[in-house]
Amino acid sequence: MSDANLQVAAATAPKTQKQRGLWSDAFHDLRKRPTVIISSFVILVILLIAFFPGLFNFHDQNVKYCDLGLTRGAPSGQHWFGFDEFGCDYYAQAIYGAGPSIQLAVIVVTVTIIIGGFMGVLAGFYGGWVDAIFSRVVDVFNSIPFLLGAVMLLTMFRDVQVPLIGGRLQAIIPAAITLIIFGWTSTMRLIRASVIESRGLDYVQAARSLGASDMRIMFRHILPNAMAPVVSLIPLSIASMISVEATLSFIGLGVRAPEITWGMMISSGAPYFTSGFPRLLIVPSAFLIATVLSFVLLGDAIRDALDPKLR
Amino acid sequence: MTEVKVKSEILPDADPMATLLRVEDLRVEFHTRDGIAKAVNGASFSVDNGETLAIVGESGSGKSVTSQAIMGILESPPAKVAGGRVLFRNVDLLTLSKERARRVRGNHVAMVFQDALSALNPVWTVGFQLSELFRQHRGMSKKDAMKRSLELLDLVKIPAAAQRLREYPHQFSGGMRQRVMIAMALALDPDLLIADEPTTALDVTVQAQIMRLLKEIQLERNMGLILITHDLGVVADVADKISVMYAGRIVEQAPVLDTFATPAHPYTKALLKSIPRLDTKGQRLEIIKGLPPVLTDLPPGCNFAPRCAYAQEICTRELPLLATVAADRAAACHFSSEVIRDV
Amino acid sequence: MSSPNGDVALEVKGLKKHFPIRQGVVFKTTVGQVKAVDGVDLTLRKGETLGVVGESGCGKSTLAKLLVGLETATEGSISVRGEDVTKLGRAGMRRLRRNVQMVFQDPYTSLNPRMTVGDIIGEPFEIHTDVVPKTGRRKAVQDLLDVVGLNPDHINRYPHQFSGGQRQRIGIARALALKPEILICDEPVSALDVSIQAQVINLLEELQDELGLSYVFIAHDLSVVRHIADRVAVMYLGKIAELGTEDEIYEAPMHPYTQALLSAVPVPDPTLRGLRDEIVLEGDVPSPANPPSGCRFRTRCWKATEKCAAEEPLLQIRAGAPHPNACHYAAPRDVVHAVE
């Protein structure tokens, strides 16, 4: 903003009676926007589908029930999306396919933020040799090409069973670990940069001059400020993790069978696109695109809203 | 697209006998989240060749917005020129086509900003940026453009100019960068130079150098100079006449000696009494109570009334218009004659 | 302005702060030093205001940070109440912090935007839990708000709901929480509108009288410093060029740099136009990484001779003047008033 705009903005600072922090200010801003409302609604629906697929099981379709005799059957009243090549109900597949993808994305994003955040804050705050070591570690990880590394790792440990966890998690964990290994570096870098920027701020200096301990400064002053760019990136990260997982599933390396994901559905549905059964590709793609788009739009909106216009 | 080689092609209707710049009832609005801010709410003033007008005000006064409106560089949205005329030799700059307006900038009216670092492009050398102006606007060859650029750097007294043409903006000190910006502003021989807080970010010894340079150049070229500032010391040193702005309006207009000796508006008077002076000690600083105005929520009547020592009931009802109080002097106050009389 | 009673609140001797210049990508080597503060001696008496002036690169901001403990000295000593704080461990630093606090320049970045004003002013009590018991903290914060002229009911508001001048008051309230004896004011009014500066300056003066505070007032605005300071130190490239009472410095400056500095400051009085003694300095300030030999000011000084390059003038009493300066050829000159 030009100087003049800033001055006008400062001169219009609301002398409101309500006490509103920066976060609630942003929230109030976002509440009004149509893209935010629609994306949030879609995301809510998708999350419900992911965590409570049973709610959407209107006609009692059983995911496991597959009748080869119904292979590639057409949609009907009972079976909205028809059947896939194994005769399994496609609607059920799509619904149950949401779960693994989303859960994987959420786990990966959460863990990368924790790891990246931890290392980023330490590296940014202390600088010096701490930063030097952590940054070199990041460099090493970064020098491995993402997709190549992920594919390699997943191929090598394709059939390895992780002890002590069962079922759904077993199917997700290997892919999750791989994505975390190759994903934490960008979060670390982002947080580190944010911390370095916050470190020099006057109010951090003020806290130091009051005698605040390092811990206090990190948690009370720097972290809340440094987290802002990260928070706005969360939806975008989730979106990209979902996409990456779809890619990996497409080449058979993502979430493992017997779980279903949209990527797998796309993978098996693609060959039929031109041979008369386009819906086998269209259905999972539509779900995937709708989900990713909603997260992206929401992430963009949050990022814009958190951008401090008035300081 | 033909580039203009001769300046007189840009504004053929300009009347060389008319006042250099006359602003009439300028109004600029900003559309913000909290409503419409009347950043400039009816400003009228004029500058002629060889004259220095100082526009004085604090944040929210509208002084920067005014200068940007004259230059035609307001960001709209959120800004919008809501009325008034900006007459450059009788040609209204606000009604020009975008293309014409672009050519007027630099050729007739130029601006120097507060922060040279953001006004200069960091990835090009200073020589390149200067010579670009000549190549673009005057169709000069590279060699000639560089030669002119060298002359310009000499004009603004940058030592070792030839060497410095090859350097980048970040290699210059703050004061030197400001000189480069002045050089760029003067490149196309503008008739009017607007300097928006040109020395606020500089050290005081550098500030003195830059202000001296501006005055010298103004004298040499008989340029009109509009100086936007909040520093009354600088104003006392260089201005011929002053317009004091408050909450988007001009509240006082007078020759500089009159304004300082016997201010006609309570705001001017209070301002003068609240600033410490270098040559007096142990003075009592008078404060102006209250807060600067909120542009989206201006009180009815006089904008300064809530903070004014002279305010009476009429001031909250009726907006005082800028009216003549003496020869060449105008003030927007119901009680200006009292203000002038009081010591 | 109050009269100092002779007690020394703060004493600085031979203070130096050098910042190493490092180069290299993986392994960094030190290729030089930025001598931000290079040998400063100062005394602050109880109840007085010592103004420190100078232009960019003179080291006054670094000096401020050293006094408050935000930077550690490379050399030299800082004594508060007779105790050398440069030699202190953690416990000692905590004691220092109780006694010396800072008021920051920018009201827009010196307050954490995500904390309420009550939290901001109350933070010192959370860090130094023995100053005020938990039950009394809210009242203590409200009292502080009152002392600086703000409404105690606004304790739950956020910084962005206040104007610049009010935010600066909040910063002052925060600095006063621990009841320090000494306030280091680093350009406390430079970022404020002119009409608000007087409010904050007056507030600082009142507080000094009421609470018996001592100030180190760092600023580049010489008019403001004249108004509030009892004594003034003029800094150039990390050293003090001249040190005297406000009267001595402004009415009869001895050091050429002080004279040049003062002559450059405009006075809001058009009748003085062209009547003052004008000194124009050419050239730029040398880099603090590579200061000139001998007297640092000689590259821009009209009086410079070979002696100035060979022998560094020390800060001492010269030429019969009552206050010390660092120039071989010091002589008084009136640059503030009109010259006959």
Q: Highest-confidence range of B47-56, B139-148, B318-327, C305-314, by mean pLDDT?
A: B47-56
**Other C-beta atoms lying within 10 Å of the C-beta of residue B300:** 11
C8-to-A96, A117, C212, C316 alpha-carbon distances in Å: 78, 47, 13, 20
B341 CB burial (10 A radius; 0-12, 13-18, 19+): exposed
- Closest approach of chain C CAs to the CA of B294, in angstroms? 10
What DSSP assignment string belongs to A244-300?
A: HHHHHHHTT-SSPTTS--HHHHHHHHGGGTTTT-THHHHHHHHHHHHHHHHHHHHHH
Of A248, A287, A296, nearest to A81 (Cα)?
A287
- Closest approach of chain C CAs to the CA of B57, in angstroms? 9
Distance separating alpha carbons of residues B24 and B44, to the nearest angstrom = 4
The mean pLDDT value for B222-246 works out to 94
Q: Is B35 on the interface with A (CB under 8 A)?
A: yes
Distance separating alpha carbons of residues C191 and C105, to the nearest angstrom = 7
Over its C-alpha atoms, chain A yields an Rg (Å, rounded) of 23
Chains that touch B (3 or more CB pairs under 8 A): A, C
- Could you say which residues of chain C have pLDDT below 50? 1-5
The mean pLDDT value for B203-218 works out to 90
A23 CB burial (10 A radius; 0-12, 13-18, 19+): middle
Q: How sure is the predictor about B4, in pLDDT bands with cuts at 50, 70 and 90?
A: very low
A242-295 pLDDT, tens digit each: 888 888 888 877 777 677 888 888 888 888 888 877 888 888 888 888 888 888
Residues in chain A: 311
Of C131, C213, C123, nearest to C178 (Cα)?
C131
Q: Is there a contact between C337 and B58 if contact means CB atoms under 8 Å apart?
A: no
pLDDT at C40: 94
Residues in chain C: 340
Peptide bond into B78 cis (omega under 30): yes
Q: Is the pLDDT of residue A14 over 60?
A: no
Residues in chain A with CB shorter than 8 Å from the CB of B78 are 5
Q: How sure is the predictor about A300, in pLDDT bands with cuts at 50, 70 and 90?
A: confident
Q: Is there a contact between A206 and C161 if contact means CB atoms under 8 Å apart?
A: no
Instruction: Mean pLDDT check: name the lowest of A22-26, A256-260, B248-252, C48-52.
Output: A22-26
Q: Is B133 on the interface with C (CB under 8 A)?
A: no
Q: Is there a contact between B270 and C195 if contact means CB atoms under 8 Å apart?
A: yes
Q: Is C47 on the interface with A (CB under 8 A)?
A: no
The DSSP output letter for A70 is: G
What's the per-residue H, E or C state across C259-319? HHHHHHCCCCCHHHCCCECCCCCCCCCCCCCCCCCCCCCHHHCCCCCHHHHHCCCCCEECC
pLDDT at C4: 42
Residues in chain C with CB shorter than 8 Å from the CB of A221 are 112
Residues 113..132 of C with a Cβ closer than 8 Å to A: which?
A: 113-116, 123-124, 127-128
B41-to-A108, B37, B319, C79, C302 alpha-carbon distances in Å: 55, 10, 12, 56, 50
Residues in chain B with CB shorter than 8 Å from the CB of A12 are 30, 32, 34-35, 37, 294-296
Whose tokens are 């002052």? That residue is C172
Q: Is A12 on the interface with B (CB under 8 A)?
A: yes
Spatial contact of B202 and B178, defined as CB atoms under 8 Å apart: yes
pTM of the model: 0.84
Residues 17..76 of B with a Cβ closer than 8 Å to C: which?
A: 58-59
Residues in chain A with CB shorter than 8 Å from the CB of B34 are 12, 14
The mean pLDDT value for B160-169 works out to 90
Of C113, C67, C164, C187, nearest to A204 (Cα)?
C113
pLDDT at B74: 87
A74-131 pLDDT, tens digit each: 777 667 777 777 777 777 778 888 888 888 888 899 999 999 888 998 998 888 888 8
The neighbouring-strand residues paired with B26 are B43
For residue B12, which phi and psi values (nearest 5 degrees)?
Answer: -65, -25
Interface-testing mutation among A24, A28, A208, A209, with chain C (most C C-beta atoms within 10 A): A209
Q: Is there a contact between B64 and A15 if contact means CB atoms under 8 Å apart?
A: no
CA angle at residue C18 from C15 to C21, to 5 degrees? 175
Q: Is there a contact between B294 and A4 if contact means CB atoms under 8 Å apart?
A: no
For residue B274, give every residue at least 6 positions away whose Cβ sits within 8 Å of its Cβ, in sequence order, or none. Answer: B285, B286, B287, B288, C194, C195, C197, C198
Residues in chain C with CB shorter than 8 Å from the CB of B287 are 195, 198-199, 202
- Closest approach of chain A CAs to the CA of B318, in angstroms? 23
Could you tell me what percent of chain B has a pLDDT over 70?
A: 98
Higher pLDDT, C175 or B200: C175
Q: Is C197 on the interface with B (CB under 8 A)?
A: yes
